[in-house]
Structure 1
Amino acid sequence: MITVTRLNGEPFVLNAVMIEQIQALPDTTVTLHNGKKIVVRESVQEVVDQITVFYQKVGIQRSLKEVNETSE
Structure 2
Amino acid sequence: MIPLTKLNGDVFYVNVPLIEQVEALPDTTITLVNGKKLFVRESTKEVNELVLAFYRRIGLMGISTRKEET
TM-score by length of 2: 0.85
Paired residue for 2:17?
Answer: 17
Paired residue for 1:4?
Answer: 4
User: The residue matched to 1:3 in structure 2 has which SS?
Assistant: strand
Gaps of 5+ in 1: 63-72
Identity of aligned residues (%): 52
Cα distance between partner residues in 2 of 1:58 and 1:40: 24
**Do residues 46 (structure 1) and 8 (structure 2) align?**
no
Gaps of 5+ in 2: 63-70
More helix by share: 1
Residues 11-42 of structure 1: per-residue CA shift (max 9 Å, x gap):
00111111000000000000001110000000
Shift, 1:60, TM fit? 1.7
- Matched residue pairs, number? 62
Q: Which amino acid aligns with 2:36?
A: K
User: The residue matched to 2:61 in structure 1 has which SS?
Assistant: helix
Over the aligned positions, Cα root-mean-square deviation in angstroms equals: 0.7
Cα distance between partner residues in 2 of 1:61 and 1:12: 24
